[in-house]
Amino acid sequence: MSLAAATKYFFEQAAQGLDLEPGVKQMLETPQRELLVQVPLVKEDGTLEVYSGFRVQHNDARGPFKGGFRFHPSVDLDEVRGLAALMTWKCAAVNIPYGGGKGGVAVDPFTLNKRELKQLTRTFVSKIFPIIGQKVDVPAPDVNTNAEVMGWFVDKANELARDDVRGIVTGKPIGIGGSLGRTEATGRGVALTTLRLLKWLGKDPTKMTVAVQGFGNNGSWTAYYLHQAGCRIVAVSDVSGGFGNEEGLDIPAMMEYCKTSDKHLLAGYPDADPISNAELLEGKVDILIPAALENQITKENAARIQAPIVIEAANAPTTPEGDAILNERGITLVPDILANAGGVTVSYFEWVQNLQSFYWDEDTVNTHLTNIMHKAFDDIWNLAKERDLTLRTAAYTIAIERVVEAMKMKGLFV
Ligand code: GLU
């Protein structure tokens, strides 16, 4: 099943219980706007490469479209469409005043040097500029894009706008309008969610073993905060391979290692045993955290997952078939639209700071983040208990209700 179809499937599962009019359902299943652009790049060896770029705006009933953009060879319209819808549900699930959007360029950024990547980013900005804006559609980092890329982004946007429009993108470097705590926010939010779940399950974090698939910005900070809370992180991986240690990995040391290693990957990290991706996903741990790409837990491997708890730090790591198998087996799963919402939540704080030109200290950012994540988790947890729903269906239910309410208040249907 394609990613857009999978997102629609999860939406429909919750919509069944909501008695939505067919027309309203159709509006929510279809993006409001989709833009495909050509992104040409003259590389430094003189060759011309032409990449495909995308920005999909799913729904803006609750506020400006919001969502990151990624640089990855697998990016296509279907993927971006699915991820844009996920952003609508995510922002509504944690009750921040945004709709959902997503973007990307189908490129392997590891084949480009920094100057080429900067040029590619600037061209992408100029191509999508007609449909984005501080109060319209606000991009941010996602897979293979980071604060540095957002710095290039805002510079080009300011140039095109002939104005300081720093609120047009979030996840920027601190010196040019970024927020303290934004880099760590997605992982911090995943850890907050995990610890909240353990609290309600009456489990002691210091007795938990954890495997994290992915050691990019999201996975590494997730591992860091759970390690700090006393969990034993026994396996992590990135595109260079898997790394295990039954005694517990030294996560801060691994993060330091990545800062200086080739392509910032874990390859060659000494204090761990090599493990395969399947060993990481199917290993005997208390908590499994997929924090890389989509489609990792599928009908092929879901029956072999041994962890009784799965926290979706990545977007869409579980396919609908995989999800059904995990549910049948009684595995507790915290869905992406709740678990990884910390990133977009601090993007929201960054945007508020940009619009007010008043900057918060890190404690303020983290206190607000904790409050929002705890409230969202507890509302979803309580609804799931009350109506005997999975946490995913409960999260979608709350999100859909909020979006439909906003559409109703705007008179988008009567
Ligand atoms: N890319 C992140 C996500 O999928 C963050 C989006 C944002 O900050 O707008 O939630």
Per residue in 85-119, pLDDT (tens digit) is 999 999 999 999 999 999 999 999 999 999 999 99
Phi-psi category of residue 248: left, alpha or beta, with phi > 0 → left and psi -120 to 50 → alpha: left
Cα of 120 from ligand 1 centre, angstroms: 20
Examine the domain organization and report whether 197 and 279 are in the same domain: yes
pLDDT band of 31, cuts 50, 70, 90: very high
Catalytic-residue membership of 118: no
- Residue 177 placed within a domain: no
Examine the domain organization and report whether 129 and 211 are in the same domain: no
* pLDDT greater than 80 at residue 414: no
* pLDDT greater than 80 at residue 259: yes
Examine the domain organization and report whether 62 and 137 are in the same domain: yes
- Residue 376 placed within a domain: no
Q: What is the pLDDT of residue 413?
A: 83
Q: Which CATH number characterizes residue 216's domain?
A: 3.40.50.720
The whole-number average pLDDT for the span 313-319 is 98
Examine the domain organization and report whether 9 and 122 are in the same domain: yes
Instruction: Give the phi and the psi of residue 264 in degrees, each rounded to 5.
Output: 60, 35
Is the distance from the beta carbon of residue 343 to the nearest atom of ligand 1 less than 6 Å? yes
Ordered DSSP codes for 138-196: E--B-TT--HHHHHHHHHHHHHHHTS--GGGS-S--GGGT--TTHHHHHHHHHHHHHHH
Cα of 315 from ligand 1 centre, angstroms: 9
Q: Mutation test of ligand 1: which of 80, 347, 365 has the most ligand atoms closer than 8 Å to its C-beta?
A: 347
Q: What is the pLDDT of residue 255?
A: 98
- Residue 307 placed within a domain: yes
Percent residues over pLDDT 90 in the chain: 98
- Residue 351 placed within a domain: no
Q: What is the pLDDT of residue 90?
A: 98
Cα of 370 from ligand 1 centre, angstroms: 17
- The mean pLDDT of the chain is 97
Examine the domain organization and report whether 304 and 245 are in the same domain: yes
Tell me the residue range of the domain where 235 lies.
183-334
Work out how many domains the chain is built from and give that number.
2
- Residue 401 placed within a domain: no
Is the distance from the beta carbon of residue 64 to the nearest atom of ligand 1 less than 6 Å? no
pLDDT band of 263, cuts 50, 70, 90: confident
pLDDT band of 72, cuts 50, 70, 90: very high
The whole-number average pLDDT for the span 25-49 is 98
Q: Single out the residue of 246, 232, 184, 236 nearest to residue 214, CA to CA.
A: 236
pLDDT band of 262, cuts 50, 70, 90: confident
Examine the domain organization and report whether 215 and 303 are in the same domain: yes
Q: Mutation test of ligand 1: which of 87, 138, 149, 217 has the most ligand atoms closer than 8 Å to its C-beta?
A: 87
Q: What is the pLDDT of residues 189-248, one digit of tens each?
A: 999 999 999 999 999 999 999 999 999 999 999 999 999 999 999 999 999 999 999 999
Cα of 140 from ligand 1 centre, angstroms: 6
Examine the domain organization and report whether 139 and 199 are in the same domain: no
The whole-number average pLDDT for the span 293-317 is 98
Of the three residues 303, 334, 365, the one that is the final residue of a domain is 334
Is the distance from the beta carbon of residue 183 to the nearest atom of ligand 1 less than 6 Å? no
Inter-residue contact 144 to 108 (CB < 8 Å): no
Which is catalytic among the residues 8, 66, 102, 156? 102
* pLDDT greater than 90 at residue 399: yes
Is the distance from the beta carbon of residue 144 to the nearest atom of ligand 1 less than 6 Å? no
* pTM for this entry: 0.97
* Distance (Å, whole) CA 231 – CA 361: 28
pLDDT band of 334, cuts 50, 70, 90: very high
Q: What is the pLDDT of residues 158-200, one digit of tens each?
A: 999 999 999 999 999 999 999 999 999 999 999 999 999 999 9
Residue entry with tokens 């962890």: 307
